[in-house]
Amino acid sequence: MALTDPLGDMLTRIRNAQMRRKTKVSTPASSLRQHVLDVLQSEGYIRGYTTVEVTGVQPEFEIELKYFDGEPVIREIERVSKPGRRVYASVKALPRVANGLGVSILSTPKGVMSDHEARENNVGGEILCRVF
């Protein structure tokens, strides 16, 4: 089965695993997913992730989800720019998520980064997803 939106698939797997209170979830590995997971880890939304080599198939990331007082740290995670409708923003037009309490993850010419890093580096780009 061809997957048209691999990043959206990963976000949905995270969302579904948190609804079921799972501690770990796996997703196929790719460089874009790895960069997004790096941002989620640096912002404190996930505990971490590891690469699991499976013989004969594509490697997978095993993501450790984070909970606080029994509730998931990620309250909402949604895809913004989709394959059918790409969403771009300049550095001046970057939206604030939950009045600055959340984070947007962007793909910029300087790499994948959070919205506040993009403001510091003075770059805009494609808004991949929004997390809070």
Residues 60-87, mean pLDDT to the nearest whole number: 96
Separation of alpha carbons 101 and 105, rounded Å: 13
CB 89 within 8 A of CB 99: no
Report residue 80 as tokens. 């913004």
Is residue 74, in this structure, part of any structural domain at all? yes
Two structure tokens written together for 36: 């997004």
Q: What is the pLDDT of residue 2?
A: 56
pTM, 2 dp:
0.94
Q: Name the strand (E) or helix (H) holding 61.
A: strand 60-65
What's the pLDDT band for 54 if we cut at 50, 70, 90?
Answer: confident
- Residue 21 Rama label (left phi>0; alpha psi -120 to 50; beta): left
- C-alpha 89/C-alpha 10 separation (Å) is 23
Provide φ and ψ at 10, rounded to 5°. -65, -45
Report the alpha-carbon distance of residue 71 to residue 94 in Å, rounded.
29
Q: Which domain holds residue 42?
A: 6-131
Residue 36 lies in a domain: yes
pLDDT at 1 over 50: no
CB 3 within 8 A of CB 31: no
Q: Residue 56 — pLDDT band, cuts 50, 70, 90?
A: confident
What is the total count of domains within the chain?
Answer: 1
Note whether 6 and 82 are within 8 A (CB).
no
Work out the end-to-end distance of the chain between its first and last CA atoms, rounded to an integer number of angstroms: 31
Asked, for residue 1, whether it belongs to a domain, the answer is no
CATH of the domain at 17: 3.30.1490.10
52 within a domain of the structure (yes/no): yes
Average of per-residue pLDDT across 96-108 = 95
